[in-house]
Amino acid sequence: MKPVCLVIGAGAGIGGTVGARFAREGYHAVLCRRSDKEGLDRLVAEIRADSGDASGMLLNAIDDNAIEDAVIRVEKEIGPVEVAIFNLGAQIGDRPLADTSHKAFEMGWRLATFGLFRLAKTLLPMMADRGSGSLLVTSATAAVRGNAGQHSHAAAMGGRRMLCQTLNAEFAPKGVHVAHILIDGAVDAPDTLGKMLGPERFQQLRETRGAEDGLLLPEKIAETYLHVAQQHRSVWTHELDLRSFSDVAWWNHV
Amino acid sequence: MKPVCLVIGAGAGIGGTVGARFAREGYHAVLCRRSDKEGLDRLVAEIRADSGDASGMLLNAIDDNAIEDAVIRVEKEIGPVEVAIFNLGAQIGDRPLADTSHKAFEMGWRLATFGLFRLAKTLLPMMADRGSGSLLVTSATAAVRGNAGQHSHAAAMGGRRMLCQTLNAEFAPKGVHVAHILIDGAVDAPDTLGKMLGPERFQQLRETRGAEDGLLLPEKIAETYLHVAQQHRSVWTHELDLRSFSDVAWWNHV
Amino acid sequence: MKPVCLVIGAGAGIGGTVGARFAREGYHAVLCRRSDKEGLDRLVAEIRADSGDASGMLLNAIDDNAIEDAVIRVEKEIGPVEVAIFNLGAQIGDRPLADTSHKAFEMGWRLATFGLFRLAKTLLPMMADRGSGSLLVTSATAAVRGNAGQHSHAAAMGGRRMLCQTLNAEFAPKGVHVAHILIDGAVDAPDTLGKMLGPERFQQLRETRGAEDGLLLPEKIAETYLHVAQQHRSVWTHELDLRSFSDVAWWNHV
Amino acid sequence: MKPVCLVIGAGAGIGGTVGARFAREGYHAVLCRRSDKEGLDRLVAEIRADSGDASGMLLNAIDDNAIEDAVIRVEKEIGPVEVAIFNLGAQIGDRPLADTSHKAFEMGWRLATFGLFRLAKTLLPMMADRGSGSLLVTSATAAVRGNAGQHSHAAAMGGRRMLCQTLNAEFAPKGVHVAHILIDGAVDAPDTLGKMLGPERFQQLRETRGAEDGLLLPEKIAETYLHVAQQHRSVWTHELDLRSFSDVAWWNHV
C-alpha cells in the first residue's frame, strides 16, 4: 500500500502540483478542494496518466467536520497519511479596514488558522501514534509582517505561523515534522493569482516577469516540499522561505 | 472636557492600573471588564478617591456589538477616546492539543484577535477623523514564539501582532498610534496570574520573586504605557518589550 | 555629586540632544566625539547656559584605549557613570560590494560593534558592582535587515544587536539595563544626515518632510531615551523601535 | 570539466561531509582548512576512493589574502566555483565578558564575518559574471539571539546573517544564490563539538542522544545543502533552520 499525501487546498497551483510531485514519488495523492469538480478531475486524471495514484475530494473546509471527516475517510479507505499539505488561505487583496467586514476577517481565520488547527487535531495524533509523518504548511509573507490592507490575511497567517510552532513543539519529539514554508512572492498559479488578476493580466505577467523566472514555479516549489518531507529526523527544517531570484526579499525595499 | 482613556480588560492588574495612571494624568478612565462588578466599582472608587475621573462598565467582549456599543456610548456620553488600552487575552495555561477544544481555540481568537479587530474597526476611524489617538495593545511572548501547549494563545497573539502591524500601516499616517507592548514575564496581577496560581501560590511568588522585583509591577508598566501614549508623532514606538531585570528574555535560555 | 550621563558619539543630532536632555534632568553630561572641537564646545556651552552640567571630550573611538581611558577618567574625575549612550556608527551610504573596501567593512565593525564591546567591557563591570546603570544603544534598521549596498553597516549593526542581547543576558540580573533602540527612519540631525545630504538638500528635506514631523526629532527621541533609562527594574525594555508617524515601518513596503 | 564545490572550513563535520556529498554528485570538491594535513588528506582520499574528485588545501583564513588567493587559484587551476560552502566560525564556548578578550572578540568577527565578506568580495563578482553560483553559509543559533557568554560568537554570527542579506540583495538578481543555513543544535562532528567536549564526553553523547538521532548528522545536513544549491532560480531559499526532531527550537524553552 502506498503512503498517502493529503493535500488540503489543491488547485492548479502549489497544491495540485505538489500532490502530483508526491504521486510521482510513489505516494497516493489525495487532492481536496472546495469547488470546480472538473478541474479536480483533470488534476487526478493527469496524475493517473503519469502512472501515479490519486483521488479527488470536494470539501468545504469551513463546514463542521469537513476536514476531520476527510482525514478519517482517507485513513480508512486509502491508507495512512504520511504527508499532509495544508494549502488553504484567504488572500482577498488589499482592503482598508473600513472595507474589511467582520465576516471577511473571520473567514481569513477560519480557513487559514482554524482550518490548520482542525487538520492538526485530527491527523497529528495518528501520526504521533505511528511515530512519523509530515505536515507542510504553505505560508505567506503576511505571516511575518502586516502590510496595509492585509488585516484579515495577516492576522490569519500570523496566527498560523505561531500555531505551526506550537504544533512542532508538541509533536516533533513524537516524530511528526511540521514545516512552515513561506512563499515570498507571486506564484505562477492560475487558480489563485490568475483569478485575482484576471486572465489577461495574468497572461501578460507570465510572458514578462514569468518568462524570466520572476514568478515562483509550482513544479519547482514542489521539489522543496518533497525535500522537506524527506529530511531525516536528525535535521528537520521548521521554517524556510522561497522567492524568485529576481524578487526583493520581504525585509528589503527597492 | 477630559480626554478619555478607554480600557478594554480592566482587572486589578495591568488594565486597571494603567487606567488609574492615565486618570492621574488627567484622563477620564473608562474601565471595562466582563465580570466582578464589585471589583470594578472598587477600582473606580480608588481612582475617584485619588481625585481622578473614572467610570466602569461591565461588558462581555465576545457578545455581538459589545465592544462597538461601548465605544460609541463612551464617545457620546463621556467624550472622545484619545487613548485605548486593549488588554484582553485568553491565556488558559499549557494544554496539549488533545485537550485544546475547538471552542477553546476559537475563544482565544475571539477575545485576543477578533476583539482587537472590532475595537479598531469602531474606534480607529474616529481617531483618524480627529487626526490623533493611541491604541496600546498589551501583548505576550506568545505573539512571537509558540511554546508547547500554547496552541490557542499563541495563534491568537501571533495574529494580533500582525493585526497591530496592518493597523499601523493604515492608520499611523492618519495620526493614530498603535503600539504592541510585549509583556515578557509574570505580572504581579491578582486577577490573572493570581487566579491561575491560586491565592497561596501567588502570595508565595510575591514574597519570593516579587520581593526582588522579579515580577512585572503593573504600576511600573503603566509608566511605559503613559510614555508611549505621549510620544511625539515624529518618534512613535510600534513594538517594545518589557521584562523584569532578573528574568530571562524569551529568546534566551537558562 | 550628580550622576553622570556619558555620551559616546555626541554630535548635534541624537547624541548631543540626548546628553542635553539628561543634563536638564540633573545628570552631568559628558559629551565625547571625534572632531569639531568648536561644535563640541558649543553643545557644552548650551547645556551650561541652561543651568546644566556638562563636559566635552574629543576622542577617536577606534584608537587603542580611547574609550577605555575616557570611561576611567570620567569615573575618577567626574563621577560614576549611571547612564551611557552609545551612539557611534559608520553609515557610509549604499555601496556595491565592489566599492566596499576591506577597510570600510572593518571600520564599520570597529566603530559600531567593537566600540560597543570595548565600552561595555570597561563600564559594565563597574555598573554591576554598583548594582545599577543603563547602557542605551542607538541602533538602526540595518540591525534587523540587510539592504543592498549596506554590507558594512548591516554587518556591523547586526553584530551590535546580538551583542546587546549577550550583554543583557549577562548583566541585567546584576542590575544593568542594556537597551537597543532602533531608529527606523531619517533623523533631523545636521551632523549625520545633514552631512550625507549636503546643506541644501538637507534644508529642503527639513522644510518639506520635516515640516510635517516626517523626520525623527532628536529632542523627541531624547524623551524616550530618558524614559528607558528611568524604567523600574521590574519592567525593562530591551528592544524598541522609533519612527515617524508618516513613515513606512521597515517591515512594510509602500 | 567538473563544476567546483569550494569548502572553506572543511573538518570531519559539516564541511568535509558536505564536500564529499557534492563530490558524489559530480562536483570537484576543494576542501580548505587551517590545520591537520593528515585529516585533510584522509578526507580527500575518501572522496577519491568513492570515485569522486577532490583536492585539499591548508590555509589560515585570517591571513591576508589567504581566502582571496585560494579562490583565484582554484578558479585558475581547477575550474569555476559553482558552489561555495562557508563554514568557518569561532564558537569558543560560554565566557563571561570579563574573560572575553579584545582579541577573542575580534577573532570571532575576523573568522565568521570578515572571512565571509572576503570570500564574497572575491568570488561573487565571478559568479555574477557567469550568471550563476551558490554560496551556502553555515550559521548558528547565535545569529538570531545572543545568549549569556556568547559575546564574541553572537556578535560575529549576527553580523554574518545581515551580511548574507546584503549579499543576496545585491547578487540574487545577478543569478547568485546566497543561503543562510541556521544549524540549531549540536552536530555529530568530531572536529568541532568533539574537540569542545573531549573524546570521552563526545563518545558518550553519541551513544545516548546521538543514538536516537538527537544530534544533527552531517551526512543528512549535506542533503539539504545539496538541495538548496540545486533549487531552481524561481524558488530560492535564503534562510532556513535545521534541528533534530527531539531538540527544542531556539525560540522555545523546555
C176-216 pLDDT, tens digit each? 999 999 999 999 998 888 988 999 999 999 999 999 999 99
Nearest by CB to B232, from C217, C227, C235: name it.
C217
CATH superfamily of this structure's domain B4-188+218-246 = NAD(P)-binding Rossmann-like Domain (3.40.50.720)
Interface contact A235-D223, CB threshold 8 A? yes
Distance from CA of D193 to the nearest CA of A (A): 16
Residue C254 is predicted with a pLDDT of 66
- Categorize the per-residue pLDDT at B92 as very low, low, confident or very high, splitting at 50, 70 and 90: confident
Distance between B182 CA and the closest CA of chain C, angstroms:
9
A157 touches chain B (CB under 8 A): yes
**pLDDT at B164 (0 to 100):** 98
Residues from chain C that touch A251, judged by Cβ atoms under 8 A, are 144-146, 250-251
Which residues in chain C are contacts of B234 at CB distance < 8 A?
A: 188, 213-217, 220, 244-245
Q: What is the pLDDT of residues A47-62, one digit of tens each?
A: 999 999 999 999 999 9
Q: Report d(CA D237, CA A189) in Å as an integer.
A: 19
Mean pLDDT of all residues in A112-137 = 98
Residues of D in Cβ contact (< 8 Å) with B250 = 251, 253
Record: contact B252-D144, CB cut-off 8 A: no
Note whether D23 contacts C: Cβ–Cβ < 8 A: no
- Confidence at residue B91, expressed as pLDDT on a 0 to 100 scale: 82
What is the model's pLDDT at position D231?
98
From chain C, the residues in CB contact with B18 under 8 A are: none
Other CB atoms within a 10 A radius of the CB of residue B38 amount to: 7
Q: Kindly report each contact of residues D114-117 with a partner whose C-beta sits within 8 Å and lies 24 or more positions away, as own/partner.
A: D114/C102, D114/C105, D114/C106, D114/C109, D115/D8, D115/D61, D115/D62, D115/D67, D115/D86, D115/D88, D116/D86, D116/D88, D116/D160, D116/D163, D116/D164, D117/C102, D117/C105, D117/C151, D117/C155, D117/D163
Q: Is A48 helix (H, G, I), strand (E, B) or coil?
A: helix
Average pLDDT on B23-31 reads: 98
Mean pLDDT, rounded, for C126-131: 98
Distance from C-alpha of C163 to C-alpha of D24, rounded to nearest angstrom: 40
Beta carbon pairs, A and B, within 8 Å: 145
The answer to whether the CB atoms of D253 and B147 lie below 8 A apart is: yes
- Rounded to 10°, the helix B115-130/B151-171 angle is 20
Chain A residues with CB inside 8 Å of B114's CB?
102, 105-106, 109
* B89 pLDDT tier (thresholds 50, 70, 90): confident
ipTM, two decimals, is 0.97
Instruction: State whether residue C154 sits within 8 Å of chain A by CB.
Output: no
- The whole-number average pLDDT for the span D144-163 is 97
Mutate: best of D237, D245, D254, partner A, most A CBs <10 A: D245
Nearest CA in chain B to D150: B252
Question: What confidence score (pLDDT) does residue A67 get?
Answer: 98
Q: Which of residues 160-219 of D touch A (CB under 8 A)?
A: 165, 168-169, 172-173, 175, 177, 188, 213-217
C123 contact D CB<8A: no
Residues of B with Cβ-Cβ distance to A114 under 8 angstroms: 102, 105-106, 109
pLDDT at A35 over 80: yes
Give the pLDDT confidence of C57-107 residue by residue, as tens digits: 999 999 999 999 999 999 999 999 999 999 998 888 899 999 999 999 999
Whether the pLDDT of residue B161 is over 70: the answer is yes
Written as one string, the DSSP assignment of chain B is -PPEEEEES--TTHHHHHHHHHHHTT-EEEEEESS-HHHHHHHHHHHHHTT-EEEEEE--TTSTTHHHHHHHHHHHHT--EEEEEE----------GGG--HHHHHHHHIIIIIHHHHHHHHHHHHHHHHT-EEEEEEEEGGGT---TT-HHHHHHHHHHHHHHHHHHHHHGGGTEEEEEEEE-S-B--TTTHHHHH-HHHHHHHHHTTGGGT-SB-HHHHHHHHHHHHH--TTSB--EEEEB-TTSPPTT---
In the prediction, which pLDDT does D196 show?
86
| pLDDT given for residue C98 in this prediction | 98
In chain B, which residue's Cα lies nearest the Cα of D143?
B251
Mean pLDDT, rounded, for B34-51: 97
Strand residue runs (E) in chain D: 4-8, 28-33, 53-58, 81-86, 133-140, 176-183, 239-242
Q: Work out the average pLDDT over D133-139.
A: 98
Q: Give me the half-sphere count of Cα atoms (radius 13 Å) on the Cβ side of residue C99.
A: 9
B51 and D CB contact within 8 Å: no
Closest CA of chain D from A67, distance in Å:
26
Decide: helix, strand or coil at residue C78.
coil
Distance from CA of A92 to the nearest CA of C (A): 18
The enclosing H or E element of A17 equals helix A14-24
CB contact under 8 A, A160 and B161: no
Please tell me the predicted confidence (pLDDT) of residue D191.
Answer: 83
What integer best gives the mean pLDDT of chain B? 96
Could you say which of D217, D235, D249 has the minimum Cβ distance to residue A242? D235
Model confidence band, residue A192 (pLDDT cutoffs 50, 70, 90): confident
With a cut of 70, say whether residue B140 has pLDDT above it: yes
Interface contact A253-C144, CB threshold 8 A:
no
Instruction: State what percent of residues in chain D have pLDDT above 90.
Output: 93
What pLDDT score does C229 carry? 98
Q: Is C245 on the interface with A (CB under 8 A)?
A: no
For residue C243, what pLDDT is reported?
98
pLDDT at C91: 82
Determine the residue of chain A that is closest to B95 in CA distance.
A170
- pLDDT tens-digit map of A5-26: 999 999 989 999 999 999 999 9
Task: List CB contacts (< 8 A) between D237 and chain A.
Answer: 224, 240-242
Cβ contacts below 8 Å, chain B against chain D, sum to: 24
Q: Please answer yes or no on whether B233 and C216 come within 8 Å at the CB atom.
A: no
* C234 CB within 8 Å of a chain A CB: no
pLDDT at A254: 66
Better-predicted residue by pLDDT, C12 or D133:
D133
How far apart (Å, rounded) are the C-alpha atoms in residues A116 and A137? Answer: 8
Residues of A in contact with D143 (CB under 8 A): none
Residue D45 has pLDDT above 80, yes or no: yes
- Whether the full predicted model's pTM is greater than 0.95, yes or no, is yes
Residue D254 is predicted with a pLDDT of 66
- The reported pLDDT for the residue numbered B254 is 66
- CA-to-CA dists, residue A160 to A107, A239, D132, D250, angstroms: 14, 12, 35, 19
- Of the pLDDT bands very low, low, confident and very high (cuts 50, 70, 90), residue B186 is very high
Which residue of chain B has the CA closest to D154?
Answer: B252
